[in-house]
Amino acid sequence: MAGRMEGRVTLITGGGSGIGRAAAVRFAREGAPVALLGRRAGPLREVAALVEAEGAPALVTPADVTREDDVRAAVAAVLERFGRLDVLVASAGSEGTLGQHLTEVSVEDWDRIMAVNVRGVFLSAKHAIPPMQRQGGGAIVVVASDSSFVATPRQVAYCTSKGAVLQFTRSLAVDLWGEHIRVNCVCPSAVDTPMLRRAVGDDLDQPGLEGIATADQVAAQILFLASDDAASMHGAALVADWGGMARSNWLV
């Protein structure tokens, strides 16, 4: 039986690890040819092998999402190999300066996290949209965060970048209204990925980390947003935060 994404060519940024890696396997399992974009070719090749083990074709496109020439070339490679582009999953991200007071954050560190988390999404979408327009439709799923809505101490740069990504999703959805290109974002809380472990260490059983999703759980949410099951969703933010935004400070 054909999968939900049968034949829908999917480009995943940050495809070498974490949420991007899990999404690649999920999409492949549902029949999507998968192109993997990331800075390091080695991890991308490892994920490509997982995609192919699911019976789907894979393409490795090493690139830096902060560099427009790299992103442009990656999209061109996808079109040369597969002839179309149906889905963009903008998953590349950086935790940046977690744990630092704003007064301790350097301009270079601020610019670096904005480049990956915001410019990377902008460039990926900018170059994915034209082929989607030519073929009459597509879907873009951005990996945002619950930090798009709520703030955590000493994470000003990260929270600012994810707030920008949320509004990017909404604004782009407005611009693409009527073009059959849906734009949505998934907003998870803590996810067990290499990025989280870099930030907090390998001990995930600690105060403040009571709810941790697996990368595969987030990948399932991304797949839903990209699929026809979410056909009525456009400009939406799917929040998966273990009920964090629903809780009052008065709860004990």
Q: Which residues pair with 216 in a beta bridge?
A: none
CA-to-CA distance for 173 and 176, rounded, in angstroms? 5
Question: In the annotation, is 158 catalytic?
Answer: yes
Amino acid in the structure at residue 29 = R
What count of residues does the chain have?
252
CA-to-CA distance for 223 and 48, rounded, in angstroms? 18
Comparing CA positions, the residue from 124, 145, 18 lying closest to residue 72 is 124
Q: Which residues have a Cβ under 8 Å from the Cβ of 251 and sit 6 or more positions away?
A: none
Q: Which of 27, 82, 122, 158 is catalytic?
A: 158
CA-to-CA distance for 25 and 216, rounded, in angstroms? 9
The 3 state secondary structure assigned to 89-146 is EECCCCCCCCCCCHHHCCHHHHHHHHHHHHHHHHHHHHHHHHHHHHHCCEEEEEECCH
**Structure token pair of residue 200:** 């907090």
CA-to-CA distance for 81 and 73, rounded, in angstroms? 12
Q: At what angle do helices 68-82 and 120-135 cross, to 10 degrees?
A: 30
Environment class of 212 (CB within 10 Å of its CB; exposed 0-12, middle 13-18, buried 19+): middle
- By annotation, the residues acting in catalysis are 158
